[in-house]
């Protein structure tokens, strides 16, 4: 079972570069999320989606963009990378809303901006 798959697992970016973190789930979940985790901190919600074509901002959306054209895919776009975006990024999905059911997480993508 693949579950939630994130690519790439590691990436180093220069300041000002752009990139897309890919996330795919094969569980036919409607809900998908992007979190970031900084050292010693909990996970912070960046963006989430309740279904194809619908996205909404989380706690820390600045500097990021998302799209949800299919149920399976939820890419996260960084347009102008900044050192403050150095973090570990986790994509997650759920069958029901997060406040009623569990989230399934990918293995994470470690991004370093120099």
Partner 1 sequence: DQQVKQNSPSLSVQEGRISILNCDYTNSMFDYFLWYKKYPAEGPTFLISISSIKDKNEDGRFTVFLNKSAKHLSLHIVPSQPGDSAVYFCAASGGTSGSRLTFGEGTQLTVNP
Give the interface with partner 1 as residue ranges (CB under 8 A): 4, 31, 35, 40-45, 48, 50, 58-59, 90, 92, 97-100, 102-108
User: Which residue lies nearer to partner 1 by CB, 35 or 64?
Assistant: 35
Minimum Å distance from CB 104 to partner 1?
8
Minimum Å distance from CB 4 to partner 1?
7
Minimum Å distance from CB 102 to partner 1?
4
User: Which residue lies nearer to partner 1 by CB, 17 or 75?
Assistant: 75
d(CA 63, CA 65): 7
Minimum Å distance from CB 90 to partner 1?
5
Pairing mode, strands 76-78 and 64-66 = antiparallel
């Amino acid at each position: 079972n693949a579950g939630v798959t994130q690519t790439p697992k590691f990436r180093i970016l220069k300041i000002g570069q752009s990139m897309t973190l890919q996330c795919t789930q094969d569980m036919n979940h409607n809900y998908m999320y992007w979190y970031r985790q900084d050292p010693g901190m909990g996970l912070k919600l960046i963006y989430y989606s309740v279904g194809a074509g619908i996205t909404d901002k989380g706690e820390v959306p600045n500097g990021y963009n998302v799209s949800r054209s299919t149920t399976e895919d939820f890419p996260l776009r960084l347009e102008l990378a900044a050192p403050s975006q150095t973090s570990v990024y986790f994509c997650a999905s759920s069958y029901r809303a997060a406040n009623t059911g569990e989230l399934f997480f990918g293995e994470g993508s470690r991004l370093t901006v120099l």
